[in-house]
Every structure is written in structure tokens, then in C-alpha cells.
């Protein structure tokens, strides 16, 4: 104990000496200034002052109530050396070597009544002020270990997602044939504990539809259904999984998940809603990445700093880093470039943190995070990383803004010189405090200020990228393993996938998430291997029908005593509609296509030049997959509106599933639905001929990926006959086709059509 | 041709061949849907509400305070001169506060009603209801461009895609209507912020606004497209719903699946209820005249206002109207005076009529009426006769549910540029509106981005403007 104290003293002393030597000239100047002191100031003490022993107790007793760790009134905190030297909203208060002109001395000596500190209670004594003066004159030394320890930082070490990833032992519940993998072992262990049982295996048809929608966003083709149902080989299912993972449709489905979390859009929003010509290249880059099973660590590195890491592959890296060029863009701010740049950096930091790091840092823009250990300094440290880059319009060869720009091909490139980043009081650009160097949040392993060097400004994102995927980063693997689980099972293991920080929800199956994260890293970050691991589990193959006691005990199905049934996403509803009708155009990649809309649907579109047709310029392609539909920030595709599309303003971690009348109205009365119902009816006639029962069987396979049962067959054929008779009575031209159209509309409006069990 | 959607529930059931069993089933669903499953079921407020419904009259483009509710005689005195240097720091979109010249208002102001609230002569009818109004002259925020200012006025932040006031209100209180959406928007043209201006943001889609259209079908996708006009929707729906019920039975219990069956029935009811709600043919001529429907100038906004009253009568929680969408509206960069006269004419009688009509029906006590834009305008000129955007001091007024009529609160400086006395931020307005609805702004929260989010934001204080409350 004693040794430690001595050590502290020596370190503190050494720091003071070092400082005093380096700033000897300053100190001399201060001395002469001190000779001309304001006579009202108490004289500086002559003793050698040691911060921890002499000054900190004064701060603790009289200042920390308002200027400590939890409160920083006026932007001032005296809790740490860095914060104290930064000063507050009105500037620096400690000028090392110059006590007579240091505001802290003026305040404590109450030179002006309205600025007197502390504002309540007794004034500091002349001796105390004299000590503070001496401390400042001697260089204001402050040993690192004299900083107040933030309890939030202490908590950091204990928080599950900030601890190093350690591969856990797999729980070994009772020996059960149900267990196919460690995934099942974990799930079963929790079910056992809750005295629940897994649901029986799903029917082959249900499983096939489930895995098709899950991996490709499309229903299984009819021949695949027939082949799978009749294939009794145990490996048949695994072969399907392999085949789907190898199909290009896989990337088109899974890219959509990623596009949600990186707030993908083809335009900038606000009044101008500038069109991003490069956005689709990023979308295609993501699709390719998934299809090629690009290792996830490489995938992240390319997006964060690909241009800096692999300059020889500039074209690919330009597409990858385009993720930073597609955020919200209020370009009517163009006469205030500093503000616009600030909006850009904020979007980049917030998106990076939520999508890739899995931490919510946006709050630290304005104040130290109330709950997480992330500080404003951490936040602006990240901004400083992005401040070395700028968005550039390739078309005009100018920095990417301009009020009249309707369209731009934007790229990320290095700015001629990095913008200096200041810590901003309450996040307000007009209230800068100290400069902040580019840094990674200090409380995370491997975090801290980026290395300096001659070329450092061209390596900032590269450094961030390397750290992001380094083995010491505890978050990245957990974040993506958690997301992949969510995208298969509908809910993430840790239910706040954009925030694994101390404010997020803890995982329902912690050891399972640990295991998946370590398995992912060991597999070389292969997402396809992770998919396979999950899809081949018994957990995934369960039926979606749960026992009443399981529903009662676990309404949210967190424990997975049955597969969580899910409503299809907006894009899947579109794709399913066209697939069932046989009209789906599977042309991949390229510029977005623009479906034709009625005047009614176009009513909400605002165009700054009063030419909405420029904003929604209909293309010849009409029936491609939904991922290729133009995605405008200021005008969402009306068909999607009712089906909980992502909010592309910020990262969207989870699609909601709501049930609203607008869904019914869309599926009953949207003209595209009507056209697809007609195509589907014609397809039935073409493929099944005049026999009603055959038509119904075919329709059931197209719509529900299963055979109709006898009762359904009867219900449906009766409906068609009755409709046809009615239509005949009304004198319709093609009463049979009209009846089939009504039948198909009816099918499209059933729950099962847009659900996967 | 369209089917006739305007049929009663009884007709619908008999026509669809659904017997008593089906009727009972629907009632069961309705009751079930009002239990915990239905997020739109009416919820109890945090405290006794003063207002049950809100009609927000939004003047898109930003009306000029010094030509409407904030008289500034100093402007005439200093016309043509630059402002004192203390204003130079204000950021403006098209002009510079340091060089722009003062532009006097051509309007005459007079004291109105017993309370003597001052209004400009662009309003001839509004003075009749002056004693119902509380004018806040000291509203301010920081956003001087339309889209961010629109987002600010609706959602309390300049960012796009955050939930708007109406969504928060329905999230907090649910809907009183079984056949109509809880949050309805009507506008005369597109907004500069796009439809996302009145978005539900991160709140679930059940709290999203439904747009009621002025021409064609009142709700998007309410009517069948021409291509399937011959189909019999009820027959199709009965077929679908039978399959849905069997699916529900086969899947055992799932509240989402039963909610979906209920949503289809609500959609079906909406198909007749929505056209009925906006069918003004049965309104007496005296009422139509009161709203100005007998005059081409006042008819468009008068129709919106009359529809708003009818919706509130039918239990709709939040009606958001826009005036000035599409064209330049209240965005008077040129011809400020002429455009204010024109706009004033269009809204004056309808709004006065709305307040009088609500009052005569006993609805004004429980309906909060709000008037304002995304910001005000500069007291200085842009070009010869325009005014630039200014968010630094502008007027908003409220009337009805819980408001102390005949009040003027807060003030701007002598030029009407900056809020000076009792400044009111957007979040203070929002906190006050929620308070009147029986909601505590700091308790109405939703988890998103790592935080319990709220309309009034988590950083900074919000103040309920008690001085304008009855």
C-alpha cells in the first residue's frame, strides 16, 4: 500500500518536472506576469504542489457537485485532466504557468460577483486559492491516475458484449436424438429449464417454403416441391440448402437485410431529394458480396476503408465505400458548407456505429452518453476519422453539393486536408471546444487515438477497418452472428441488434451467441457456413404450430418451442405476387426500375422543379424483383407503404410486423395486384386447363407451396362455380376467366399467401 | 362501375350471405381486437384530458408573423433601412440579415373581440372567434429551410423520418373510431418535406397517418381499379376470410393472424365509412355556407375544414390539414403581401366557420385547433416585395379544448424577427398539446436507437405553456 502511494507521488512529481522543464520559458513569463497581479488575487503559495494531494481534494469537495463526472455544468468538468484542460463553454479556465490570468483563479477569488465560484456556500480560502495558483504556475501537472474513474467505464469491463469472445463449452442436456448440433443443445437446455418441448418437425412442404423464402425471398418452384416431397433421402434437405445458397437469388434476398441496416436509399431526401447515381452500384456490390460468400471481415473492411487498404482495386472499392455517400442530404444547406459537412459526418458515424459496430452512439453527439461509457470525445473521435474524407460528385468534378443538383454520381475520396474536428458543446457547431484527434472509442479493447504519421490522414478509415475486424474487437462477430440469427428466426438473440451496449437487451441464450460468434470467426467469417449451421438444426426444422402451454408460457417464442411464423416483408410480398402469377422477371443487377403508378398514387410526390415525372421516371422494366425498385427517401413506393418498409432515414435494425387495414386495401385494390391476379388466372388456364379442381390444386401450390386438402378443394371449386354462374348472369364476356380472377384475388388476400410457417 | 360501398353493416352481412354466426364472429373479433391485441384500442390517458381530438391547420411554406398576428409599427418607421447589427448573426436561406432592408407590412391591424387580440386585415371572419384563440407570438427554432423545418414542426427534430405529433397522439391514446383511421391527413398539394413529414417514423405502422384525398377515392386503394371493376368484392372477401379462419384454426392460436382477419373487416368497413365521412351532400346549406363552400375561393379549404369536423365527430383522434401545398403557398419570397391576401381569403372564412361550428355542436371544448406553419418570415425584404424564411420568432395560435381564449403570449423584438419575451420552442408546443390530450410528454416513450425516445426529445427541458391554458 505504502509503496503504491510513493509510486504515485514520484510519478506525479516526474510529470510536473517534465512539464516544468519543457515549459520553462512559459513559466518564467508567468512569473513576471504574476508580478503584475490583480491586487485582489491571493498570492500563489510558495510550496511545491502535488495535484492528487493538494488540489484534487478541493475540487472534490467544492467543484465536482456541478463540474464532476455526472454533471458538467457550462460544459466544464474537472474530473479528468483532459476535460479540465479543455475548459467549458466559455473557453479554457486553466492556463498552465499563468495563474494570474487563469479564469479558474478569477472565479474562485470572486473578482466578479456574478462569476464567483462556487456559487453557493463559503468562498475558497486564500490558502486554497494560493495552492491552486501555485499548481497552475508550476505547470498544472496532473498524473493520469489522478483522474476520477468513471463508474460507467468500470461497468464496461463487466458488460457481456465488451468482454473478449471466448468459445463456450456446449451445454450437454440429456442425450436426445433431437440434437443435431450445438445450436439445438443450447435451445433444448433452455426449453428443458422452462419445462417446454420442441415442436414436432415441420411438414416437408412447410419446411421447403420456409427455407426458400428465408434464403431467396421467393417461393419454391412447383417442380422443387414435387421433387422434395417425394425424396426420402435424409440428405435431401441439406442439398436444397446448398442449392439455395448457391443461387443468385440468395444474394438478392440477403443484401436487402444489409441494406436495411446501412439505411440504403437511391436519393438524399429533403426538398431536392437528389438522386444518387452510384447507389445501385453499392446495392449490387452487396448482392455480389453475399453471393460470393465474401468473408464478413473483408466485407466490412472494404466498406469502411477499402480505398485506403486496396488502392489497386479502386473500382470495386469505390462501390464498397459508396455506403458513405448515400445518406440523408439536406442540400438546401449548401450556403452553409460547414453545417452540411457536419450532417454528413453525423450520418456516417451514426450509421457506422449502429450497423457495423452494433453500438448506439448518436446520443454522444450532444452529451456524454447517459448510460453507455461512450463519451462526446469518443463520438467526435469517430467524426475525426471521417473528416479526412469527403463526398465528391464525379459528374461535375466538384464537392458533392449544390442546391440545383438533381442528380449526382457521388464517390468517397480524401479531402485535400482533413477538417479539424472540435468537441462541440451540446453538439452545436457554433460552440466548439477543444480539438479532437481521430480515435476509436477508448473504452473498447484496442481503442484510443489513431497512430500519427506523415500519411495518417489517408489511413484513418483503414485503421478503423483493421480494428473493427481484429480479434480483440469484442463486438463485430457478436453483432453479425446476432443479426444472422434474427434474419433466420425473426428475432435476434439479443433483441436490440443495433445496440449491444449496456442499454441494449442482454441475449436470451448468451452461450449460444458466444458460440456462434466464435464459430463464425473460426470459419473465416463465412456467412454461408453460418447459415448452414442454423438451417440444418432441429430448431430450424420445427413446425410453426406450438403447444398451448408453450404459447402461454412464452408468448414471444423467445425460447423457440416452435418455429416463429412470420409475415413476408414488403419486398417478399411483391416477389411472391409476381412469382405466383408467373410474371417475375429475374433479371439481376443494374439501375433501379420504376413501376408505373396511378395519378392517385403519385399525389404525394413533391418535386422541387414541379416535374414529378423526373422523380418517378417509369422504366420499361416493370416486373423485376423488389430489391431493384427505385428507393426514394422522400417518396416511398406506395405498394410497400402498408407492409412496414424500412425507414431509410437511419439504420433499420428490425422490420416491424404490423397488421393494418391499409394492407387489406392494398391487396384488394392496388392495380398492380389486380393485374397480377389476372396473370395468375391466365396462368392457371394455361397450365391446368379447364378443369376447376386442377386449377385449384395448381393455385394452392403457387400460392401456398402445398397441396390443397379435400375441404379446401371443395370450398374453392364451389367458389369458382358460383362466381362463374354469377358472372354469366351478369352477362360477362369471359365468365370463367373472370371467376378465376376473382378466385386468384381471393387467394392473394389470404393470410397464408403472405406468411411463411 | 364501382359496387355501391355505402351499405350498412346489416346490409353487408345479409348481402354477403353471412348469417348470425358470422355476425357473432365479427363482434367477437371486434371485442377481441379491443383487448391487448389491438394497439389502436382506446387507451387511458396519463391524466384527465382537456381535448379528445386535435385539428391541426398547417400553413405550408411559412406565413409571415408581421403580416398576420404580430403587428410591428417599427417596420414602417425603418422601412428600407438595414437592421441593427445584433441581428446579423441570424442565418437565412436567400438573404443576409446584415444587409437586407426592412420591409413594412401593408396590412392594417385591429383589436378583435372582447379580448382585443390583434390580427391583420387579411382576416375578416377570424376576428369573430378571436376570444377563443390564444396566440403565441414567440415561437422559435433553428431550421431555416422548409424540409428540416417541417420535420421540426411535426416531429421535434430536423431529421427526416421521426414520428410526427399525430402518430404520437394515436400511439398514446388509441383511436375512438371503429371504422376510420385514428390519424388522418388532408392536403391540397404535395409537401416540400414529402409524405414522410407526417410519418409514423419508428412507431409501428398502426400509428401511421392515412391520407384522405380531396379528389377521387378518399383513401388510396379504397376502390377497385377499373381492371377488376366487375368483380364482387364481398364474395371474394368472404372466400378469403373463410380460408383465413381455417388457417387460424389450423395454426391454433396466433393474435397476429386473428388481427389480420379483423383488419380485413375494418378495411371493408372503411370502404363505406370513409366515403360517408367525407360525403358532404347531407350537410345543410347553412353549414356549407358557414365554411365557405358556396364560394370558389374558400371552397377547397372549407371542404377540408368541414371534413375535419365530420371526422372528429366520428371519433378520429388527430386530423392534420395542410394549406399551401404544391405551389408556393405561404412561401412568399416574392409578392409577399399579395400572396398573404390571397391565402388569407382562402382560409379565413373556413377556419372561423370551423371554430364556430365546433362550438355550436359542443365539440370545441374537447377539440384542440392549432394554426401555424413550419416557420415565420423575415421582417426584411427579399427582392422588392418578398420575405425570406425565418424560424427565429413566429406566431402559432390554438383554440378549443383546454385553451384560455383571448390570450396573447410571448413577444418578438421591435422588428418581429426574434422571439424575445417568453420564447417557446417546438418541444414546448408539443408538450403543451400532449398535456391537453392527457399525456405527459416525458412519459410517452418508445424504445428506438438505444433509448426511450419521445416527441419532446431527451436532451433539454420542455415546458408546458400554462399561461395559455384555461
Instruction: Test A666 with B221 for CB contact under 8 angstroms.
Output: yes
Assigned C-alpha cell, A487: 434474419
What residues contact residue A84 under an 8 Å CB cut-off, 6+ apart? A77, A78, A93, A94, A142
CA distances from A547 to A198, A271, A592, B324, B357 (A): 9, 52, 45, 56, 56
B458 touches A at CB < 8 Å: yes
Q: How far apart are CA B463 and CA B220, in angstroms?
A: 38
- With bands split at pLDDT 50, 70 and 90, how would you rate the model's confidence at B393? very high
Distance from CA of B331 to the nearest CA of A (A): 13
| Residues of chain A falling short of pLDDT 50 | 1-35
β-pair partners for A542: A201
Q: Which among B289, B319, B380 has a CA at the least distance from the CA of B78?
A: B380
Q: Which among B151, B62, B152, B59 has a CA at the least distance from the CA of B394?
A: B62
Assigned C-alpha cell, B189: 398539394
A609 touches B at CB < 8 Å: no
Instruction: Test B267 with A730 for CB contact under 8 angstroms.
Output: no
A588 touches B at CB < 8 Å: no
CA distances from A149 to A56, A68, A441, B218 (A): 13, 11, 16, 61
Three-state SS annotation for A643-679: CCCCCCCCCCCCCCCCCCHHHHHHHHHCHHHHHHHHH
Residues 344 through 363 of chain A touching chain B, CB cutoff 8 Å: 354, 360, 362-363
- With bands split at pLDDT 50, 70 and 90, how would you rate the model's confidence at B37? low
What residues contact residue A71 under an 8 Å CB cut-off, 6+ apart? A65, A77
The confidence score (pLDDT) of residue B7 equals: 33
Q: Name the burial class of residue B17, with classes exposed (0-12), middle (13-18) and buried (19+) by CB atoms within 10 angstroms of its CB.
A: exposed
The confidence score (pLDDT) of residue B38 equals: 66
SS3 for A305?
Answer: helix
SS3 for A28?
Answer: helix
The confidence score (pLDDT) of residue A402 equals: 62
Q: What is the mean pLDDT of residues B21-47?
A: 54
A648 touches B at CB < 8 Å: yes
E-assigned strand segments in B12-147: 53-59, 109-112, 117-120, 133-140
Q: How far apart are CA A106 and CA A114, in angstroms?
A: 11
Instruction: Test A751 with B270 for CB contact under 8 angstroms.
Output: no
Instruction: Test A746 with B220 for CB contact under 8 angstroms.
Output: no
Q: How far apart are CA A728 and CA A736, in angstroms?
A: 8
The full DSSP string for A154-168 is: HHHHHSGGGSPP-PP
Is B387 within 8 Å of B64 (Cβ atoms)?
A: yes
- With bands split at pLDDT 50, 70 and 90, how would you rate the model's confidence at B254? low
Instruction: Test B267 with A670 for CB contact under 8 angstroms.
Output: no
Tens of pLDDT, residue by residue over B370-381, are: 999 999 999 999
B237 touches A at CB < 8 Å: yes
Distance from CA of B188 to the nearest CA of A (A): 10
Assigned C-alpha cell, A531: 447459415
Q: How far apart are CA A423 and CA A420, in angstroms?
A: 10
SS3 for A726?
Answer: helix
How many C-beta neighbours within 10 Å does residue B151 have?
Answer: 29
Is B210 within 8 Å of A641 (Cβ atoms)?
A: no
CA B359 centroid distance within chain = 19
Q: In this structure, is the dihedral angle defined by the CA atoms of residues B399, B404, B410 and B411, taken in order, positive or negative? A: positive
Judging contacts by C-beta atoms under 8 Å, the chain B residues touching residue A634 are 160, 193-196
| pLDDT exceeds 90 at position B70 | yes
Instruction: Enumerate long-range contacts of A375-380, CB under 8 Å, 24 or more apart.
Output: A375/A442, A376/A423, A376/A424, A377/A82, A377/A423, A377/A436, A377/A439, A377/A442, A378/A439, A378/A441, A378/A442, A378/A443, A378/A447, A379/A349, A380/A421, A380/A422, A380/A423, A380/A424, A380/A436
Residues 241 through 270 of chain A touching chain B, CB cutoff 8 Å: 269-270
Instruction: Test A565 with B251 for CB contact under 8 angstroms.
Output: yes
The full DSSP string for B410-428 is: -EE-TTS-SEEES-EEHHH
Judging contacts by C-beta atoms under 8 Å, the chain A residues touching residue B247 are 750-752
Closest residue in A to B91 (Cα) is A336
Tens of pLDDT, residue by residue over B156-206, are: 998 888 899 999 999 999 988 888 889 999 988 889 888 889 988 888 878
Considering CB atoms only, which of A360, A674, A757 is closest to B228?
A674
Tens of pLDDT, residue by residue over B199-226, are: 888 888 788 888 888 777 788 888 888 8
Q: How far apart are CA A575 and CA A583, in angstroms?
A: 10
Tens of pLDDT, residue by residue over B444-462, are: 999 877 778 899 987 678 9
N-terminal to C-terminal alpha carbon distance within chain B: 52
The confidence score (pLDDT) of residue A33 equals: 43
Exposure on the CB side of residue A467, measured as CA atoms within 13 A: 21
Q: How far apart are CA B291 and CA B352, in angstroms?
A: 8
Q: How far apart are CA B311 and CA B347, in angstroms?
A: 19
The confidence score (pLDDT) of residue B25 equals: 36
Which of B191, B202, B205 is the best residue to mutate to test the A interface, defined by the most A CB atoms within 10 Å of its own CB? B205
The better pLDDT of the pair B427, A31 is held by: B427
- Residue A433's H or E segment, with its range, is strand A432-436
Assigned C-alpha cell, A464: 478503423
Instruction: Test B160 with A544 for CB contact under 8 angstroms.
Output: no
Considering CB atoms only, which of B235, B447, B450 is closest to A723?
B235
- With bands split at pLDDT 50, 70 and 90, how would you rate the model's confidence at B259? confident
Tens of pLDDT, residue by residue over B80-138, are: 999 999 999 898 988 999 999 999 999 999 999 999 999 999 999 999 999 999 999 99
How many C-beta neighbours within 10 Å does residue A229 have?
Answer: 15
Tens of pLDDT, residue by residue over A565-574, are: 999 999 999 9
A366 touches B at CB < 8 Å: yes
With b for 16 or more beta-carbon neighbours within 10 A and e for fewer, the A674-686 pattern comes to: bbbbbbbbbbbee
A vs B, Cβ pairs < 8 A, gives 241
The fraction of chain B above a pLDDT of 70, given in percent, is 91
Assigned C-alpha cell, A708: 390443397
How many C-beta neighbours within 10 Å does residue A232 have?
Answer: 7
The full DSSP string for B289-328 is: HHTTTTSTTTHHHHHHHHHHHHHHHTT-SEEEEEES-SS-
Q: Which among B197, B381, B146 has a CA at the least distance from the CA of A332?
A: B146
Judging contacts by C-beta atoms under 8 Å, the chain B residues touching residue A362 are 449-450
β-pair partners for A323: none
Considering CB atoms only, which of A333, A605, A656 is closest to B190?
A605
Distance from CA of B223 to the nearest CA of A (A): 6
B180 touches A at CB < 8 Å: no
CA distances from A338 to A157, A334, B7, B99 (A): 37, 9, 59, 22
B249 touches A at CB < 8 Å: no
Q: Name the burial class of residue A47, with classes exposed (0-12), middle (13-18) and buried (19+) by CB atoms within 10 angstroms of its CB.
A: exposed
What residues contact residue A149 under an 8 Å CB cut-off, 6+ apart? none
Instruction: Test A750 with B243 for CB contact under 8 angstroms.
Output: yes
What residues contact residue A379 under an 8 Å CB cut-off, 6+ apart? A349, A361, A364, A365
The confidence score (pLDDT) of residue B189 equals: 84
Instruction: Test B236 with A746 for CB contact under 8 angstroms.
Output: yes
The confidence score (pLDDT) of residue A171 equals: 73
What residues contact residue A467 under an 8 Å CB cut-off, 6+ apart? A440, A446, A447, A473
User: Could you check whether the bond before residue A487 is cis, i.e. omega within 30 degrees of 0?
Assistant: no
Which of A665, A672, A682, A727 is the best residue to mutate to test the B interface, defined by the most B CB atoms within 10 Å of its own CB? A665
Considering CB atoms only, which of B205, B233, B263 is closest to A644?
B205
How many C-beta neighbours within 10 Å does residue A510 have?
Answer: 15
SS3 for A378?
Answer: helix
| pLDDT exceeds 60 at position B11 | no
Q: Parallel, antiparallel, or unpaired: how do β-strands B407-409 and B109-112 relate? A: unpaired
A717 touches B at CB < 8 Å: no
What residues contact residue B228 under an 8 Å CB cut-off, 6+ apart? A674, A677, A678, A741, A745
CA distances from B68 to B72, B137, B330 (A): 10, 11, 12
Exposure on the CB side of residue A646, measured as CA atoms within 13 A: 22
Q: Which among A147, A17, A30 has a CA at the least distance from the CA of A100?
A: A30
Assigned C-alpha cell, A335: 450556403
How many C-beta neighbours within 10 Å does residue B46 have?
Answer: 18
Per the listing, cell 464537392 goes with: A399
Q: How far apart are CA A307 and CA A303, in angstroms?
A: 8
Amino acid at each position: 500500500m505504502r509503496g503504491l502511494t510513493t509510486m504515485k507521488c514520484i510519478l506525479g512529481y516526474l510529470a510536473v518536472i517534465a512539464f516544468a522543464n519543457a515549459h520553462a520559458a512559459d513559466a518564467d513569463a508567468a512569473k513576471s506576469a504574476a508580478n503584475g497581479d490583480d491586487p485582489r488575487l491571493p498570492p500563489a503559495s510558495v510550496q511545491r504542489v502535488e495535484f492528487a494531494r493538494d488540489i484534487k481534494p478541493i475540487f472534490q469537495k467544492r467543484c465536482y457537485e456541478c463540474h464532476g463526472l455526472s454533471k458538467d455544468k457550462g460544459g466544464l468538468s474537472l474530473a479528468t485532466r483532459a476535460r479540465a484542460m479543455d475548459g467549458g463553454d466559455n473557453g479554457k479556465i486553466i492556463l498552465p504557468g499563468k495563474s494570474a490570468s487563469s479564469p479558474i483563479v478569477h472565479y474562485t477569488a470572486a473578482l466578479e460577483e456574478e462569476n464567483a465560484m462556487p456559487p453557493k456556500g463559503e468562498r475558497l480560502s486564500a490558502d486554497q486559492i494560493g495552492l491552486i495558483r501555485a499548481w497552475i504556475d508550476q505547470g498544472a501537472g496532473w498524473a493520469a491516475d489522478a483522474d476520477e474513474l468513471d463508474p460507467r467505464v468500470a461497468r464496461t469491463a463487466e458488460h457481456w458484449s465488451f468482454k473478449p469472445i471466448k468459445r463456450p463449452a456446449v451445454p450437454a442436456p440429456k442425450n436426445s436424438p433431437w440434437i443435431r448440433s450445438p445450436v439445438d443443445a443450447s435451445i433444448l437446455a433452455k426449453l428443458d429449464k422452462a419445462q417446454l418441448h420442441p415442436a414436432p418437425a415441420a411438414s416437408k412442404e412447410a419446411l421447403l417454403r420456409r427455407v426458400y423464402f428465408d434464403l431467396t425471398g421467393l417461393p419454391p418452384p412447383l417442380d422443387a416441391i414435387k421433387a422434395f416431397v417425394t425424396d426420402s433421402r435424409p440428405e435431401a434437405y441439406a442439398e436444397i440448402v446448398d442449392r439455395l445458397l448457391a443461387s443468385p437469388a440468395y444474394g438478392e434476398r440477403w443484401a436487402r437485410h444489409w441494406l436495411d441496416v446501412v439505411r440504403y436509399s437511391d436519393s438524399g431526401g429533403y426538398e431536392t431529394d437528389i438522386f444518387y447515381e452510384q447507389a445501385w452500384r453499392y446495392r449490387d456490390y452487396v448482392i455480389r458480396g453475399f453471393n460470393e460468400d465474401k468473408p464478413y471481415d473483408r466485407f466490412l473492411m472494404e466498406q469502411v476503408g477499402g480505398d485506403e487498404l486496396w488502392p489497386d482495386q479502386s473500382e470495386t472499392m469505390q462501390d464498397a465505400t459508396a455506403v458513405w455517400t448515400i445518406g440523408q442530404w439536406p442540400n438546401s444547406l449548401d450556403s452553409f458548407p460547414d453545417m452540411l459537412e457536419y450532417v454528413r459526418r453525423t450520418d456516417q458515424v451514426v450509421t457506422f456505429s449502429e450497423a457495423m459496430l452494433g453500438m448506439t452512439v448518436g446520443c454522444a453527439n450532444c452529451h456524454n452518453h447517459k448510460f453507455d461509457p461512450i463519451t462526446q470525445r469518443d463520438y467526435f473521435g469517430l467524426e475525426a476519422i471521417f473528416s479526412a474524407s469527403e463526398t465528391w460528385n464525379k459528374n461535375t468534378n466538384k464537392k458533392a453539393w449544390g442546391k440545383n443538383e438533381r442528380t449526382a454520381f457521388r464517390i468517397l475520396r480524401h479531402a485535400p486536408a482533413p477538417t479539424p474536428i472540435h468537441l462541440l458543446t451540446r453538439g452545436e457547431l457554433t460552440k466548439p471546444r477543444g480539438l479532437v484527434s481521430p480515435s476509436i472509442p477508448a473504452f473498447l479493447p484496442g481503442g484510443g487515438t489513431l497512430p500519427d504519421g506523415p500519411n495518417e490522414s489517408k489511413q484513418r478509415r483503414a485503421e478503423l477497418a483493421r480494428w473493427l475486424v481484429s480479434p480483440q474487437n469484442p463486438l463485430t462477430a457478436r453483432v453479425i452472428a446476432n443479426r444472422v440469427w434474427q434474419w433466420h428466426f425473426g428475432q435476434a438473440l439479443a433483441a436490440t441488434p443495433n445496440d449491444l451496449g449496456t442499454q441494449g437487451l442482454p441475449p436470451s441464450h448468451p452461450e449460444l451467441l458466444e458460440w456462434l460468434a466464435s464459430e463464425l470467426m473460426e470459419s473465416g467469417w463465412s456467412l454461408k457456413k453460418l447459415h448452414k449451421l442454423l438451417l440444418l438444426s432441429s430448431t430450424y426444422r420445427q413446425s410453426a404450430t406450438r403447444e398451448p402451454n408453450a404459447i402461454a408460457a412464452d408468448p414471444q417464442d423467445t425460447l423457440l418451442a416452435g418455429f416463429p411464423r412470420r409475415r413476408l416483408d414488403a419486398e417478399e410480398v411483391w416477389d411472391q405476387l409476381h412469382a405466383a402469377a408467373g410474371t417475375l422477371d429475374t433479371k439481376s443487377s443494374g439501375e433501379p426500375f420504376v413501376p408505373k403508378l396511378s395519378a392517385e398514387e403519385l399525389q404525394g410526390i413533391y418535386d422541387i422543379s414541379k416535374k414529378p415525372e423526373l422523380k418517378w421516371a417509369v422504366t420499361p422494366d416493370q416486373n423485376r424483383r423488389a430489391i431493384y425498385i427505385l428507393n426514394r427517401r422522400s417518396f416511398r413506393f406506395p405498394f410497400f407503404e402498408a407492409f412496414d418498409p424500412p425507414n431509410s432515414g437511419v439504420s433499420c435494425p428490425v422490420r416491424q410486423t404490423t397488421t393494418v387495414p391499409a394492407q387489406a386495401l392494398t391487396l384488394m385494390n392496388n392495380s398492380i395486384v389486380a393485374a397480377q391476379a389476372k396473370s395468375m388466372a391466365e396462368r392457371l388456364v394455361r397450365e391446368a386447363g379447364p378443369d376447376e379442381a386442377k386449377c385449384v390444386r395448381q393455385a394452392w401450390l403457387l400460392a401456398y407451396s402445398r397441396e390443397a386438402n379435400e375441404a379446401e378443394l371443395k370450398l374453392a371449386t364451389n367458389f369458382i362455380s358460383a362466381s362463374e354462374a354469377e358472372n354469366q348472369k351478369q352477362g360477362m364476356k369471359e365468365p370463367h376467366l373472370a371467376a378465376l380472377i376473382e378466385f386468384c384475388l381471393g387467394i392473394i388476400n389470404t393470410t397464408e399467401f403472405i406468411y411463411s410457417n | 362501375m364501382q359496387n355501391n360501398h355505402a351499405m350498412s353493416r346489416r346490409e353487408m352481412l345479409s348481402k354477403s350471405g353471412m348469417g348470425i354466426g358470422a355476425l357473432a364472429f365479427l363482434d367477437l373479433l371486434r371485442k377481441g381486437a379491443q383487448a391487448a391485441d389491438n394497439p389502436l384500442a382506446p387507451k387511458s390517458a396519463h391524466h384527465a384530458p382537456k381535448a379528445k381530438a386535435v385539428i391541426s391547420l398547417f400553413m405550408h411554406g411559412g406565413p409571415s408573423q408581421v403580416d398576420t398576428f404580430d403587428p410591428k409599427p417599427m417596420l414602417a418607421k425603418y422601412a428600407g433601412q438595414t437592421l441593427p447589427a445584433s441581428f446579423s448573426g441570424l442565418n437565412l436561406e436567400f438573404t443576409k440579415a446584415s444587409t437586407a432592408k426592412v420591409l413594412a407590412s401593408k396590412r392594417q391591424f385591429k383589436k378583435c373581440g372582447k379580448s382585443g387580440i390583434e390580427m391583420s386585415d387579411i382576416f375578416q371572419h377570424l376576428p369573430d372567434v378571436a376570444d377563443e384563440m390564444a396566440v403565441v407570438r414567440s415561437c422559435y427554432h433553428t431550421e431555416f429551410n422548409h424540409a428540416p423545418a417541417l420535420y421540426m414542426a411535426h416531429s421535434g427534430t430536423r431529421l427526416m423520418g421521426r414520428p410526427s405529433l399525430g402518430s404520437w397522439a394515436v400511439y398514446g391514446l388509441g383511436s375512438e373510431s371503429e371504422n376510420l383511421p385514428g390519424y388522418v391527413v388532408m392536403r391540397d398539394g404535395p409537401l416540400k418535406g414529402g409524405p414522410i413529414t407526417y410519418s409514423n417514423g419508428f412507431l409501428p405502422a398502426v400509428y401511421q397517418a392515412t391520407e384522405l384525398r380531396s379528389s377521387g377515392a378518399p383513401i388510396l386503394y379504397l376502390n377497385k381499379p377499373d381492371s377488376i371493376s366487375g368483380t364482387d368484392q364481398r364474395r371474394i372477401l368472404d372466400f378469403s376470410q373463410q380460408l383465413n379462419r381455417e388457417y387460424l384454426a389450423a395454426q391454433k392460436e396466433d393474435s397476429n393472424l386473428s388481427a389480420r382477419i379483423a383488419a380485413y373487416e375494418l378495411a371493408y368497413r372503411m370502404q363505406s365509412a370513409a366515403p360517408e365521412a367525407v360525403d358532404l351532400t347531407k350537410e345543410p346549406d347553412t353549414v356549407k355556407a358557414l365554411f365557405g363552400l358556396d364560394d370558389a375561393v374558400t371552397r377547397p379549404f372549407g371542404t377540408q375544414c368541414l371534413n375535419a369536423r365530420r371526422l372528429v365527430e366520428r371519433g378520429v383522434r388527430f386530423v392534420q390539414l395542410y394549406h399551401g401545398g404544391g405551389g408556393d403557398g405561404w412561401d412568399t419570397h416574392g409578392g409577399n403581401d399579395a400572396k398573404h391576401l390571397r391565402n388569407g381569403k382562402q382560409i379565413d372564412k373556413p377556419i372561423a366557420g370551423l371554430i364556430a361550428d365546433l362550438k355550436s355542436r359542443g365539440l370545441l371544448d374537447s377539440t384542440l385547433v392549432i394554426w401555424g406553419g413550419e416557420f415565420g418570415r423575415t421582417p426584411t425584404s427579399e427582392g422588392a416585395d418578398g420575405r425570406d424564411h425565418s424560424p427565429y420568432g413566429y406566431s402559432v395560435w390554438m383554440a378549443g379544448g383546454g385553451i384560455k381564449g383571448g390570450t396573447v403570449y410571448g413577444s418578438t423584438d421591435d422588428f418581429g424577427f426574434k422571439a424575445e419575451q417568453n420564447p417557446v420552442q417546438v418541444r414546448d408546443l408539443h408538450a403543451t398539446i400532449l398535456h391537453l390530450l392527457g399525456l405527459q410528454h416525458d412519459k410517452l416513450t418508445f424504445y428506438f436507437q438505444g433509448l426511450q425516445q419521445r416527441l419532446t426529445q431527451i436532451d433539454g427541458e420542455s415546458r408546458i405553456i400554462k399561461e395559455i391554458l384555461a
